[in-house]
Amino acid sequence: MKERVVITGVGVAAPNGVGKEAFTAAIRAGQSGIRYFEALQELNFSCCVAGKPEVSEALKLEYFPPLMLRNFISSGILYGCMAGLDAWADAGLSRNEEAPDWDSGTIFGIGSSGVEKMREAAYRLDSGKVKRLGSTTVPQIMASGVSAYLGGLLGLGNQVTTNSSACTTGTESILLAYERVANGSAKRMLAGSTSDSGPYIWGGFDAMKVMNFRSNENPESASRPMSATAAGFVPGSGAGALVLETLRSAQDRGATIYAEVLGGAVNSGGQRQGGTMTAPNSEAVQRCIKDALRNADVQASEVDLINGHLTATAKDPDEIQNWAAALGRNGADFPYIHSLKAMIGHCISGAGSIESVAAVLGLHHNFVFPTINCEDPHPEILKVISSEKIIRQTREDIPVNIIAKAGFGFGDVNACVLLKKYQNE
């Protein structure tokens, strides 16, 4: 018998709110975190708006000692550690100072690590200053840097590792952590993901012409998932983190339980049948959703809300069609659906975890956050589902018991997790 797995702590560093309280208030209010960045304009970016967490030097010092910050310039690791430490504290857990906590570990994902540090190192290497790279270069640029830092900060003695699956990373990390806890290999796991910010991450997407270059003068309305006037995604960055642990452990500790993780699935379309490095194989997406339902022992009719991937690109109608086909539901029978990317942009490898934190907070606090900027739903979407199923204003009148959260990423990879509202037992 598998252990039941629940979420007992959350942490977040998002473009519209750093910390659980600020983020909850922002998503409930439909507050955008997307801003104009003059530095992008100076670098000749077409898209000069983005979502980036606002982290002051004073705030950094609340998390890290000055010595650590002196050479610590990887924004992705910074966001990840902040979110992870907050989630751990939110779960009522303390840092282990004496010995490793053999029952606790982390699976914390990232797309590419320490791009800023790599740039700094490259300049020094090219000028023959290899001895001036410093002792923190390797930990900041190695792929597992974020999980390694968190493992050391928290004294984790169970599995400490990093996953990387493009935009699917965050959702996948939750499922990997869920399996480890459910199978009894760990009592609790810190799951999450993060993404660096800045031009060295976003530049490639700008060159691909998949970002919105038409809204530089109106940043807050630039990200438009499911909209007929969507013109490409807005880049974002940040991190989300969740503590997953056995229900028995949570009850024994008297911990707050935000939600239950029922299960899910991951797969790949193999870049076949329409799937490519940058586009999903629709059959694979539908299989992933169906497999997730089967793994979680959830009927399609029981899904109340979809927290979609929905990036404000031409693929949004395809995603809706895939959900409808996988669930066998359309029109007024389709579940409610929304996208956090309207408020924070597409946070790349950090997207799935930040969006999952938002889903969990809404589930716990009995509200459904809105998809802002969707005054004009795409006509191809309205051929499949009823307009009222798109959440465009914060709702507190919708009884939500089960949420399906999905992520679809470059490389034709997919992940879907099922979350359930927890009732005190």
CATH of the domain at 34: 3.40.47.10
Per-residue model confidence (pLDDT) at position 157:
98
The residue range of the domain holding 273 is: 264-420
Same domain, residue pair 57 and 202:
yes
The pLDDT value recorded for residue 68 is 84
> Of 242, 259, 276, which one is at a domain's C-terminal end?
259
Residue 46 lies in a domain: yes
Is residue 270 located within the same domain as residue 217? no
425, part of any domain: no
Determine the pLDDT at residue 123: 66
Residue 56 inside a domain? The answer is yes
One domain, residues 268 and 195: no
My answer on whether 366 and 343 are in the same domain is: yes
| DSSP line for 301-367 | GG--EEE----SSTTHHHHHHHHHHHHT--BTTSPEEE-THHHH-B-GGGHHHHHHHHHHHHHHHT-
Of the candidates 300, 311, 301, 279, which has an alpha carbon nearest to the alpha carbon of residue 411? 279
Q: Which of 237, 259, 281 is the last residue of a domain?
A: 259
Residue after which a domain boundary falls, among 223, 239, 259 = 259
The answer to the question of residue 123 being in a domain is yes
Q: What tokens does 333 get?
A: 């029978």
- How far, in whole angstroms, is CA 394 from its chain's centroid? 20
Q: Are residues 135 and 252 in the same domain?
A: yes
Residue type at position 92: G
Kind and range of the H or E element at 245? strand 238-246
Task: Specify whether 305 is located in the same domain as 347.
Answer: yes
**Domain assignment of residue 340, yes or no:** yes
- H/E run at residue 260: strand 259-268
Query: Same domain, yes or no, for 179 and 226?
Result: yes
Q: Is the pTM of this model over 0.85?
A: yes
Taking a C-beta distance cutoff of 8 angstroms, is the pair 318, 378 a contact? no
- For 241, phi then psi, to 5°, come to -145, 145
Q: Is residue 79 part of a domain?
A: yes
| Judgement on whether residues 38 and 111 belong to the same structural domain of the protein | yes
Q: Does residue 300 lie in a domain region? A: yes
Q: Are residues 294 and 254 in the same domain?
A: no
Query: pLDDT at position 346, please?
Result: 98
Q: Is residue 388 in a domain? A: yes
151 vs 145: CA distance, rounded Å: 10
Residues 273 and 161 in one domain: no
Number of folded domains that form the chain: 2
Q: Are residues 49 and 197 in the same domain?
A: yes
340 and 308 in one domain?
A: yes
Q: What is the CA radius of gyration of the chain?
A: 20
pLDDT along the chain (425 residues), means of 10: 96 98 98 98 97 96 89 88 98 93 98 80 78 79 92 97 97 98 98 96 95 96 98 98 98 97 98 96 98 98 98 97 98 98 98 98 98 98 98 97 97 98 86
